[in-house]
Structure 1
Amino acid sequence: MTPVMAPVMANVSAIMSKLAVLFMIGLLAGLTATDAHPYSFEDEGGSRSSTRVPGQPSRPVAKPLPPSRTGTPRTNDGNMIPAIVGLPPAPDQTEYRLNPQDLVNITVLHVPDLSTTQHIGNTGHIQLPLIGHIRIGGLTVEEAQQRIAGELSRDYLQDPRVNVFVEKYQGLKFTVLGAVGRPGVFDITGQITLLQGLAMAGGFAKGAKEEQIVLIRTDRPGHSQAYIINGEKVQCGALADPILVGGDRIVVPKFEIPFFFKEVLGTVRGFIPFL
């Protein structure tokens, strides 16, 4: 090596040594970051990723779900439904609106010749003595009584007393799922109770948790309420047999349902996983 090249080679050697040190520092920093955060989390878009811990296989870890904005807690297992241990309230029959093909019985007090039982037509009309065609479809029972009484009082009777009774409902259904003989969707044809609905579904199957029947009801648009009912007590008469309404969903579990509860004003309330 010539005397001229010696200083140049010394400078190159020094630069390479500095680069090697910087590389090692960067590598150690990366390993430290991996040890501090061994697993990744879901990003805002919900995608999952995974990293590797030295000496262990990589695995995805889900980001814990935040509380829902409505105040109902959520878990990684699914949404939760507000639940009450006990019976649902009796349905308000005054809110039901008459549908085509409903079978209605109409009586006029002290005038038996005006009484009739018939299906509401597809246009919502029925045929009555004296009056002829009158539309009651879409009305509540009380509104239908008032309309019929108004037509009768116009030309025929003074202060008529009209009673409308729905003998068979059309278009209302309920669902039975879980440990029953024949799960499915069934029509509500008149007043049907919980036990009658379960009988229509073939009764309890082997292993059914009869003491923990879940009845899920939509009490207002977009909101469901679950009721955990002890079917054994209903069968022996210790609890009333609740009346079903259109849209009810009955779930008979085979296993214990997780129930996160709290007691509020003497009523056990809480949440169950969405079924």
Structure 2
Amino acid sequence: MAGCKTLRIAVVFAVSAFIAACNTSSPTDMGIAQGAPASSGYASAALPGDADLRQVPELPAPPETAGGTEVPIAPSDTLEVFVFQVSDLSRAVQVDPSGNINLPLIGNVQAAGKPVRVLEQEITRAYARNYLQNPQVSVTIKESSSRRVTIDGEVNKAGVYQLPPTASLIDAIALGGGFSKVADTGKVYVFRQVGRQKLVALYDVAQIRAGKRANPRIYGGDVVVVFSSSNKVAFQNLKEALGVASSASRIGVGL
């Protein structure tokens, strides 16, 4: 009985902690300032803990993208080249360290630094010049080191993932298996290197899903971090404490 009394006291403390968490809010999370004042351009005040990291309302597209819409091909990318009705010419090829791919009949083709559609057009012209009449060529990026995104924090499957050609923040969260039980959907941070500047922006996924805020594009190299909700953590701890107390009570009754 003494053990059950101790557990009941522990539950009382858990309830008290939960109520306190519900009535307490912190302006910072892991050194990230909330509502950092914006200045001219996209840079705001430096954040605590990292003088080079700056919080911005919206993240700009990486400058190396073609108009901010398509990431160019990079060395080590694996491309799928398909020539319609000519299976001998269709194949997967890897971009070598010099940025070239090697294709049947036409040999080396410079690929790195070009958007996929530009490379498609160049390969089409090369085959049409001497070998095929009206060739239909399509190029897709099968795997790209420049399209990897890190998804961390309160998601069900944190890790490094390969992004589809165009991916949004909602897509990235889905790649990570969705939010965990204690995730705060209003505290989703996206970190991005833009030139020499390290930037971070805060997104509220609930607002995005409700159409109150745009669903931002996610690029290779981004880091998405989902923070936990102190209220949800406290509630989860409360549930576990109540579960332990309930089990102990049943054991005591049995005795």
Q: Establish whether residue 166 from structure 1 lines up as the match of residue 140 from structure 2.
A: yes
Deviation of 1:163 after TM superposition, in Å, equals 5.7
Q: Establish whether residue 102 from structure 1 lines up as the match of residue 69 from structure 2.
A: no
> What SS is found at the alignment partner of 1:103?
strand
Residues 201-240 of structure 1 aligned to structure 2 (within 5 Å):
201-220=176-195, 222-240=196-214
Is this contact kept in 2: 1:176–1:249, CA < 8 A? yes
Mark the CA change 1:121 to 1:176 in structure 2 (over 3 Å): closer, same or farther. Answer: closer
Is this contact kept in 1: 2:47–2:55, CA < 8 A? no
Deviation of 1:150 after TM superposition, in Å, equals 4.1
Letter in 2 for 1:250: V
Partner of 1:200: 175
Task: Give, in whole Å, the separation in 1 of the partners of 2:78 and 2:69.
Answer: 14
Task: Give, in whole Å, the separation in 1 of the partners of 2:81 and 2:57.
Answer: 37
Q: Quick one: which of 81, 94, 116 aligns to 1:121?
A: 94
Is this contact kept in 2: 1:104–1:168, CA < 8 A? yes
Partner of 2:56: 84
Which structure's CA Rg is the greater one?
Answer: 1
Q: TM-score, normalised by structure 2?
A: 0.54
> What SS is found at the alignment partner of 1:247?
coil
Deviation of 1:143 after TM superposition, in Å, equals 4.5
Q: Quick one: which of 159, 167, 174 aligns to 1:184?
A: 159
Is this contact kept in 2: 1:210–1:231, CA < 8 A? yes
Mark the CA change 1:83 to 1:189 in structure 2 (over 3 Å): closer, same or farther. Answer: same
CA offset digits 1:104-158 (Å, max 9, x no partner): 3556xxxx43587532236442435xx3534344241355235324423432468
> What SS is found at the alignment partner of 1:195?
helix
> What SS is found at the alignment partner of 2:129?
helix
Task: Give, in whole Å, the separation in 1 of the partners of 2:75 and 2:150.
Answer: 20
Is this contact kept in 2: 1:148–1:162, CA < 8 A? no
> What SS is found at the alignment partner of 1:120?
strand
Task: Give, in whole Å, the separation in 2 of the partners of 1:234 and 1:86.
Answer: 13
> What SS is found at the alignment partner of 2:198?
strand
Letter in 1 for 2:92: H
Unaligned runs of 5+ in 1: 1-70, 257-275
Q: Quick one: which of 141, 145, 154 aligns to 2:129?
A: 154
Task: Give, in whole Å, the separation in 2 of the partners of 1:215 and 1:76.
Answer: 17
Q: Establish whether residue 246 from structure 1 lines up as the match of residue 220 from structure 2.
A: yes
Letter in 2 for 1:85: P
Q: TM-score, normalised by structure 1?
A: 0.51
Is this contact kept in 1: 2:45–2:54, CA < 8 A? no
Task: Give, in whole Å, the separation in 2 of the partners of 1:157 and 1:149.
Answer: 9
Tell which deviates more after alignment, 80-89 or 175-184.
Answer: 80-89
Task: Give, in whole Å, the separation in 1 of the partners of 2:166 and 2:47.
Answer: 38
Deviation of 1:249 after TM superposition, in Å, equals 0.6
Is this contact kept in 2: 1:210–1:230, CA < 8 A? yes
Deviation of 1:165 after TM superposition, in Å, equals 3.9
Deviation of 1:88 after TM superposition, in Å, equals 4.9
Task: Give, in whole Å, the separation in 1 of the partners of 2:213 and 2:45.
Answer: 30
CA offset digits 1:67-108 (Å, max 9, x no partner): xxxx9755764436322334654953455124445233556x
Task: Give, in whole Å, the separation in 1 of the partners of 2:80 and 2:171.
Answer: 22
Partner of 1:12: none
Is this contact kept in 2: 1:176–1:183, CA < 8 A? yes
Is this contact kept in 2: 1:103–1:166, CA < 8 A? yes
Residues 15-94 of structure 1 aligned to structure 2 (within 5 Å):
73=45, 77-79=49-51, 81-86=53-58, 88-89=60-61, 92-94=68-70
